[in-house]
Structure 1
């Protein structure tokens, strides 16, 4: 197989960063497989992109334990082969850990951790067969900072994706597979609308990123072979500064600022 064949599978492709990643790959001529829960949104995006590239739609809810296996089985049944995997599907659970039922946390972990691992495991043999296989894991700037008060599992899940990407990168470099953890900060998308937190946030306007720019930075970094990509110079500067602070200071700053961007009630 050559590097120009094979599809890009984008999870959580119905909106936000996932949809913009799909658009960016379409501009680059990469055939697409789009998956998410909302069929109407997927079909609308597929209709937009089909004049540029072939697009397949597979509706799946990755909160269901059997979804990753069923998704891969459907891809294979259609005679498709995945060269690029984009693990983008995700969301946040607002509020303190003990205020939510365990079923809510279990579904979150299924989407954010287990499904990411299983999809990658099931598709890795296909990805490794290509001259230029790619895995792009959409993590978060939260993976690089102390966890915030509220949405208690979000930063740990994204930190897992970061470390998972690092390990996969080392394991697969000899096969020409580039693995990248994309770590954007606050991004204009449906994320904060879904969690109901947008109206409670007091993040400065200059700290918001455009989803299109985040998608482009992630794909370009992945093509270069960057293992970690942090879009936006402000976030790169913040990360560099934070790394030199004592852990106690980092935690104190997060405790003071959590209420600006995480509901904690």
Structure 2
């Protein structure tokens, strides 16, 4: 893992993969900025980790259109320089596209797509100026597979994050800044409880699952190796390669058949 230079800012830090990033980065000595909506959870996590490193919390609703600008302004007000950005906050919107009001989709796009781009745009100049930075965009194995029915925007957003990360990595590699899309598959966290798919995914075999601890540890090592896109787990990498090789029509038919196992319609 990199030598700590500046704070590590983690969005969606109150649970799951985000909380695990916070714990592992703190263990490595990185001072933290923990950002999420749930103040009580952030305060509890900060109280725990402040025994190891300095912890700042920023309670923010990253679904708000001006949230990235306000977050960057708050960091500047506190004199915080970010050397490690983990764009982790996100969720899936269950059901078919037309089953939800547009405002629901708009909020998810702001949180996981527009906000990620803007926050990266606002923090990258400082990283480049200081000659050091790490940006991890938490994408998904879903971004490597054909789109499925249900959670309509989720795979599309994650696919965007993969391409976005590739471009950013190439643009910033001569400035001491590494950028990576982290692509976990099924991970033990609150994600499936939030999306209402816990019943479906709990029927999937245990070998399909990884712990958040393994996902994060694997990802932190991968970015230091210079990987730009990292898929967690050998099985998930095999799945991605299989779908890349398959004719698109056949791949889509397989997803159509299997999507009921992990998507809520």
Q: Shorter-chain TM-score: what band?
A: over 0.9
- Secondary structure of 2:113's partner? helix
Q: What residue in structure 2 maps to residue 53 of structure 1?
A: 53
For 1:221 and 1:127, the matched residues in 2 are separated by 19
How much is the aligned-residue C-alpha RMSD, in angstroms? 1.2
- Secondary structure of 1:137's partner? strand
Tell me, yes or no, if the aligned pair for 1:112 and 1:157 is still in contact at 8 Å.
yes
Provide TM-score, normalisation by structure 2: 0.97
Tell me, yes or no, if the aligned pair for 2:5 and 2:132 is still in contact at 8 Å.
no
Aligned length: 263
How much does 1:200 deviate? 2.6
How much does 1:36 deviate? 0.3
Q: What residue in structure 2 maps to residue 229 of structure 1?
A: 230
How much does 1:240 deviate? 1.8
- Secondary structure of 1:263's partner? coil
For 1:104 and 1:82, the matched residues in 2 are separated by 30
Determine whether 1:73 maps to 2:83. Answer: no
Determine whether 1:182 maps to 2:182. Answer: yes
Q: What residue in structure 2 maps to residue 34 of structure 1?
A: 34
For 1:126 and 1:53, the matched residues in 2 are separated by 22
- Secondary structure of 2:249's partner? helix
Structure 2, unaligned stretches of length 5 or more? none
- Secondary structure of 1:64's partner? coil
- Secondary structure of 2:10's partner? strand
Provide TM-score, normalisation by structure 1: 0.97
- Secondary structure of 2:239's partner? helix
Q: What residue in structure 1 maps to residue 243 of structure 2?
A: 242
> 1:191-202 to 2 correspondence within 5 Å?
191-201=191-201, 202=203
Tell me, yes or no, if the aligned pair for 1:3 and 1:130 is still in contact at 8 Å.
no
For 1:30 and 1:188, the matched residues in 2 are separated by 25
How much does 1:3 deviate? 5.7
